[in-house]
Every structure is written in C-alpha cells, then in structure tokens.
Amino acid sequence: MIEFAQHLINGFSLGSIYALIALGYTMVFGILQLINFAHGDVYMLGAFAGMYASRWLKLDQEPSLSALLAAIGIAMLVCAIAGFLIERLAYRPLRRAPRINVLITAVGVSLFLEFSGQLVFGSDPKFFPQIFRVSGEWSLGELKVNPIQVIVFVIALSLMAILQYIIFRTRLGRAMRAVSFSHELASLMGIPTDRVISYTFMLGSALAGAAGVLVGLTYPKIEPLMGVLPGLKAFVAAVFGGIGNVAGAVVGAMTLGLAEEFLVGYWAPTYRDALAFSILILILLFRPTGIFGKGRSEKV
Amino acid sequence: MTLEPKAVSATGIRSLWSWLLAFAAIWLLHFFAVDALDPYFFMILMYSGINIILAVSLNLVNGFTGQFSIGHAGFMSVGGYVAAFLTTSLRDAHPEWMTDSVLSTGIFLLSTWIGGLAACAVGYVVGLPSLRLKGDYLAIVTLGFGEIIRVVLLNIDAVGGARGMPNIPPLTTFGWVYSGVLLTVFMVWRVVTSGGGRELLAVREDEIAAEATGVNSTSAKVRAFVLGSFFAGVAGALFAHYLRYLNPATFDFNRSFEIVIMVVLGGMGSITGSIIAAVFLTGVREALRPLQELTRVDFRMVIYSLMLILLMLTRPRGLFGTRELVDFLPRALRERLLGGKKRSKPEVAT
C-alpha cells in the first residue's frame, strides 16, 4: 500500500512535467494543425537556460524558493523567445505550403536544435545545480514524500491554472480560440492571426521551458538530446487526451505519467519507453480523436 | 510461312531487355572489375548501393504517396536482424553449408527475402493504424516505432541484445547489392507508372479528391508503405551481411533521418533524384568524417538539418522535384531512352 502510494506520487510528479510539455503541443496543433517536432527541444533549451541562469546569477549558493522561481522565469523567457524565433523564421514562411513541407521543416528545426545544442553545450550530460534544497523528507506515517516532487507538482499545476485563465478569460485567449476555429473568419473579424499564432508559440514554449527547469530539479542530469523522448511522450499524451484540447492534454499526461510509473514499478522497467508508443498505436486504432477530442469532418 | 503482324515492342527503358542488360552489366563488373578497386572506394560503393535502395523505397512513401515516414531505419533493422539470425543459426547448425558457394548464396537470398517479408509484416502493423487517419500521425508513429524496435532488440538475448550480433557470414557482394538496387528501382518505377501507382499520386495531390474519385486512400497508402518497408528490410539484410555486425544503436533516429534527407534533397517523387542524392550524401558522410572526429560532435546532423530547413524554405521540391534525370536530357535522346512514347509518369504542377 505504501509502495503503491509512493508510485502514485512519482507518477503525478512525472505526469505534471509531461503535461506542461503536452500543453504546448496541443495549443500549437489546435491553432496550426502542425505537429511541432521542435517542441521537445525547446524544453531542452529551457533546462539549459535554467542551468546557465543559476550559474551566472549564483542561484545555487543560496537555494531557496525564490531562486527556483527566478530560474523558472528566466527559462520561460528564453524559451518564449526561442519559440517566437522558430515560428517566425521556419514556420511562418510556409504558412501556405503543403503540410508535408511544414512537417519536414519541423523535423529539421528539431534536429538543428538538438545537434547545435551538442555543439554549443557539449554532448556530455551536465549537472543541473541545486537551486532548491530541502533537508530530509516529509513523512506521512510510513509514507516518505520527497518535497521536491510536491513543489514540482504544485508549480506545474499553478502554471496550468494561469494558462487556463489566459485561454478562457482574456482577450488574447479568445483570439486564440477564434484563430483555432478558423484562420480566415478570425482575420475577417479583425484578429491579427499571425500575431496570435506567435503568442501561442511563445506561451507553449514558455511552459516547456518551465518543465525543463522542473525536470532539472528532479533529475539533475541534462543533455542536448534530453528533449527527444519526453517530447514524443508528451505528444502521445496530447493525442491521448484529444489533440487540440487543453484539459485533455493534462489528463492524458497524468495518465501517461502514472502508467509509466506503475509499469516501471511493478512489471517491466526496460520497456518504459515502449509504453508510450504502444498506447499511441492503440489510441490511433480505437479512438483516434482521443478521450475528449471531437471528430472534425473534412471539408473541401 | 505466314507473316505475323509485328508486335509493337517496347524500346528503351520500357523494354525488359534494357533492364536485363543492366543486370548483366552489374554481374560483369562484379566478376571482372570490382576486385581491382581500392577497398575504401569499394566500401563507399557498397554503402551507396544500400542507401539507394533505402532512399528509393522511402521515396515511394514520402515522395510518391505524400506520407511522411521517419522510421525507415526501424524496418531496415527488422530485415537485417531476421535475415542475419537465419543465416547465422543455419551456419552454426551446418557449418559445411556455408563453404558451398551455391548453397550459401541460396540461403542468403532466401533469408534476405524472409527479412524483407518480416519488415513488410511489421510495416503493415505499424502503418495500418496511422495511415487510416488523415493527418501527420504516420510521422510520429514511425518515429516511435523506431524507438520501440530498438528497445525490443536490446531486450532479445538471442540476437545479442545490447552487445550486438557479431560474426554474421559475409554473404553480401557487389553483385547482390546492385541487383537489389536494380530490383528496387525497377519495382518502384513500375509501381508508380501503373494504374495503382496513379492512385498513390492522387492521394499525394489531394486525398479528399482522390477518395471522391473512388480511390481507397487507406489501402493505397498502406500498399505503398508496406512495399517501402519490404525494400528497407532487404537493404537491412544486405547491410547486415556486408558489415557482419549488427547493433540496435546502428538503427537509431539519425539513420532514419539520413534516408529522409536523401529523399528530400533528391526531390520527393523523383527516383533518379533519390539515387543521386543517396550517392552524394554517402560520399559527403565520408568526407565529413575527419571533421567529426575532430569536433567529437555529429557535425553531419547540424549540416543536414540546416540543409533540410533551407531546402524547405527555398526549394521545397528538392533538387529534381518530381522530375527525373531523363527529363533534363535533349528531347531526341530522351525519346530514345524512354522508348519513343510520351512517358507515362504524369507531371503534376502545384
């Protein structure tokens, strides 16, 4: 029972990180119908931005919650800029091009970030500085809780709440929903679609950046290729919840995080990375729109 | 003696004779010229051949059918492992069979065939769920599949797991690699110029319109994908018996990506484009090897990815677009080569 609860906590902590990445995927897909392959690598950039920020600002000398929040803020800013640049330089010129070309470009951007990351940061794993330290563990009876996991979960949830507010309570959010409904209609209503798309990319990338720092906090080994697998898994989570659906992405990511944690804990740890893709294939076979997704009929 | 009406015989590339001639030329080279080659050059030649098979077969999926697969190395690994497992276990059971050149060649060809079929079967399982849907799921599923197959291979002890599979009998020869190339090019060319191939092109140009004219787009896409997987499996088998060592890490995402860039660079929908790009990039990889050893970073991938982005921004149809090399020749020569008739591969301007 204790072990079960332990896995539950780990699963939620992992799931909340997947959720932050999956949100970016689902937002971009909702607005452009594009699988932004480079999204996982933006998350990697976030981890490195957090690392360099905490080194230069010497945040690791006095680990505290404010140091952590500062690192997250900087990483989010860097990633928002990166997301803006990626959209502006690589995707916007192809707005009217066939989908396959945009997809190829997305793969190209992703690889470019990964391998130029290896050039700039070096390909060996780096140690993420401890910018937040808690002595000991919190214990609830026999259950030992690692406070860092709780913090990760809480920060991730608050960011999701902020995103929810932006999407459903602000003018920008309304514009984003309008653009994702139809680019043409939205621009006829006077919405600057290109700018809204830029904001969507920045918002999604900022969340991925925060996820990068949170991962650095829990698993303090970061390297330029770290974004590949979490990026793919987050995509699976987004499809699982119904791609384009914000709440679905969070539910899908939590489910995936828990499923992975239980697979590793009870059954077959070596097949961890294969799980997400098996889930993806099953969803595509049985319910391609995901749990919360609505089917879209194709119109000519 | 009665005069029979003379059948209109195909000439040029359409006639079977020209293909048989090419086949004969390959084996002449195999027996008389190849031994004199510099070993390093010979190695590049062999890898070029394997890469041509991979690029041309991927072009069938990515170029002619307009789907985006980025897991070709996964299918290659299935074919390679299955074939290598067959030949090594037969060799271990009956070592004397491998000394007999006819028997060992027979075993090799049969294993290669079975490897290709295994890749086909896996391609069907992977392709069907993702190709049923409209949209870009194939890309992510094939990417994921490439990872799964690697994890699975790492966990199968019979093929060595993470240690890899050493000591595979050296059965791949110049003749067989280029016979494979010829077969792949011939098959893909015949498929895309056939009625069924038109369905593939129709799906690429507009899936909804194709469906409206009665094309079963799922079936067309799956057919192209399965055939592409078959040749990837064959290439894997050739690769396994040339290098004589297999390791799951050889078939990682970078390998798949290398094949994608060959297709994109050569032109999606151009067979000759893929061939030229495959040879060119195989050479480039060797040329960049010193630089890579110097910087200890996969420099190639930075260049490839930049190349891919710039290609898409400036020349999205690749070097050749959907045209073939012969389209650039003077008209008289072209008609001679193509057999005098208007060539049947339709040009699509978009």
Interaxial angle between packed helices A246-262 and A272-286, expressed in degrees from 0 to 180 and rounded to the nearest 10: 130
Give residue B118's domain range: 12-338
ipTM: 0.82
B11, pLDDT greater than 70? no
Which residues of chain B lie closer than 8 angstroms to A37, CB-CB? Answer: 139
Residue B305 has its nearest CB partner, among A111, A123, A284, at A111
Is B134 a domain residue? Answer: yes
**Using one digit for the tens of pLDDT, what is the confidence trace for B176-211?**
999 999 999 999 998 998 888 899 999 998 888 999
Is B141 a domain residue? Answer: yes
Hey, which residues 252-281 in chain A have their CB within 8 Å of chain B? 270-271, 273-274, 276-278, 280-281
pLDDT band at B12 (very low <50, low <70, confident <90, very high): low
> What average pLDDT does the segment B284-311 reach?
81
Hey, which residues 307-326 in chain B have their CB within 8 Å of chain A? 308-309, 312-313, 316
pLDDT score recorded for residue B298: 67
pLDDT score recorded for residue A296: 61
pLDDT score recorded for residue A85: 96
Question: Comparing A216 with B319, which gets the higher pLDDT?
Answer: A216
Q: Mean of the per-residue pLDDT values for chain A? A: 87
Is residue A138 within a helix (H) or strand (E), and if so which, with residue range? strand A138-140
Which residues of chain A lie closer than 8 angstroms to B302, CB-CB? Answer: 112, 115-116, 119
Q: Name the residue in chain B with its Cα closest to that of A97.
A: B316
B319, pLDDT greater than 50? yes
Which residues of chain B lie closer than 8 angstroms to A284, CB-CB? Answer: 129-130, 132-133, 137, 141
Is B320 a domain residue? Answer: yes
Question: A118 vs B143: CB contact, 8 Å cut-off?
Answer: no
> What average pLDDT does the segment A219-244 reach?
87
**Using one digit for the tens of pLDDT, what is the confidence trace for B67-91?**
989 889 999 999 999 999 999 999 9
Question: Which residue out of B140, B145, B205, B257 would a mutagenesis test of the A interface target, given it has the greatest number of A Cβ atoms within 10 Å?
Answer: B140
pLDDT score recorded for residue B110: 94
Least confident stretch, A106-115, A254-263, B285-294: B285-294
Question: A98 vs B350: CB contact, 8 Å cut-off?
Answer: yes
Which residues of chain B lie closer than 8 angstroms to A93, CB-CB? Answer: 313
pLDDT score recorded for residue B187: 92
Question: Comparing B35 with B192, which gets the higher pLDDT?
Answer: B192
**Are B66 and B228 within 8 A, CB to CB?**
no
State percent of chain A over pLDDT 90: 38
Q: What is the 3-state secondary structure (H, E, C) of chain B?
A: CCCCCCCCCCCHHHCHHHHHHHHHHHHHHHHHCHHHCCHHHHHHHHHHHHHHHHHHHHHHHHHHCCCCCCCHHHHHHHHHHHHHHHHHHHHHHCHHHHCCHHHHHHHHHHHHHHHHHHHHHHHHHHHHHHHCCCCCHHHHHHHHHHHHHHHHHHHCHHHCHHHCECCCCCCCCHHHHHHHHHHHHHHHHHHHCCHHHHHHHHHHHCHHHHHHCCCCHHHHHHHHHHHHHHHHHHHHHHHHHHHCCECHHHHCHHHHHHHHHHHHHHCCCCHHHHHHHHHHHHHHHHHHHHHHHHHCCCHHHHHHHHHHHHHHHHCCCCCCCCCCHHHHCCHHHHHHHHCCCCCCCCCCCC
Is B129 a domain residue? Answer: yes
Which residues of chain B lie closer than 8 angstroms to A119, CB-CB? Answer: 295, 297, 299, 302
Residue B140 has its nearest CB partner, among A119, A232, A278, at A232
**Using one digit for the tens of pLDDT, what is the confidence trace for B287-297?**
888 877 776 66
Query: What gap in Å lies between CA A5 and CA A7, rounded to an integer?
Result: 5
Hey, which residues 141-180 in chain B have their CB within 8 Å of chain A? 141, 143-145, 147-148, 151-152, 154-155
Q: Report pTM.
A: 0.86
Least confident stretch, A121-125, B115-119, B321-325, B340-344: B340-344
Is B237 a domain residue? Answer: yes
pLDDT score recorded for residue B84: 94
Least confident stretch, A44-48, A161-165, B10-14, B126-130: B10-14
Residue B302 has its nearest CB partner, among A101, A116, A288, at A116
pLDDT score recorded for residue A229: 86
Q: Identify the CA nearest to A232 among candidates A73, A9, A4, A21.
A: A21
Question: B306 vs A112: CB contact, 8 Å cut-off?
Answer: yes
> What average pLDDT does the segment A268-282 reach?
80
Tell me the β-bridge partners of A145: A138
Is the CB of B129 inside 8 Å of chain A's CB atoms? yes
pLDDT score recorded for residue A136: 67
> Alpha carbon of B110 to those of A73, A102, A247, A255, B104: distances in Å?
60, 41, 52, 45, 10
pLDDT band at B6 (very low <50, low <70, confident <90, very high): very low
Query: What gap in Å lies between CA A191 and CA A172, rounded to an integer?
Result: 10
Which residues of chain B lie closer than 8 angstroms to A238, CB-CB? Answer: none
Question: Comparing A268 with A253, which gets the higher pLDDT?
Answer: A253
Q: Mean of the per-residue pLDDT values for chain B? A: 85
Question: A105 vs B257: CB contact, 8 Å cut-off?
Answer: no
B349, pLDDT greater than 70? no
Query: What gap in Å lies between CA B61 and CA B67, rounded to an integer?
Result: 6
Tell me the β-bridge partners of A126: A222
pLDDT score recorded for residue B343: 47
* Torsion of Cα atoms, B271 then B272 then B275 then B277, to 10°: -100
Q: Which fold has domain A2-286?
A: ABC transporter involved in vitamin B12 uptake, BtuC (1.10.3470)
> What average pLDDT does the segment A155-182 reach?
91
**What CATH number does residue B332 fall under?**
1.10.3470
Q: Name the residue in chain A with its Cα closest to that of B267.
A: A101
Is the CB of A120 inside 8 Å of chain B's CB atoms? no
Query: What gap in Å lies between CA A168 and CA B219, rounded to an integer?
Result: 41
Question: A107 vs B260: CB contact, 8 Å cut-off?
Answer: yes
The count of other CB atoms within 10 Å of the CB of residue B106 is 12
State percent of chain B over pLDDT 90: 39
Domain count, chain B: 1
A224, pLDDT greater than 70? yes
pLDDT band at A49 (very low <50, low <70, confident <90, very high): very high
pLDDT band at A217 (very low <50, low <70, confident <90, very high): confident
Hey, which residues 267-286 in chain B have their CB within 8 Å of chain A? 268
Could you state, in order of their start, the residue ranges of all structural domains in chain A? 2-286
Q: How far does B249 lie from chain A, in Å, by closest CA?
A: 15
State percent of chain A over pLDDT 70: 97
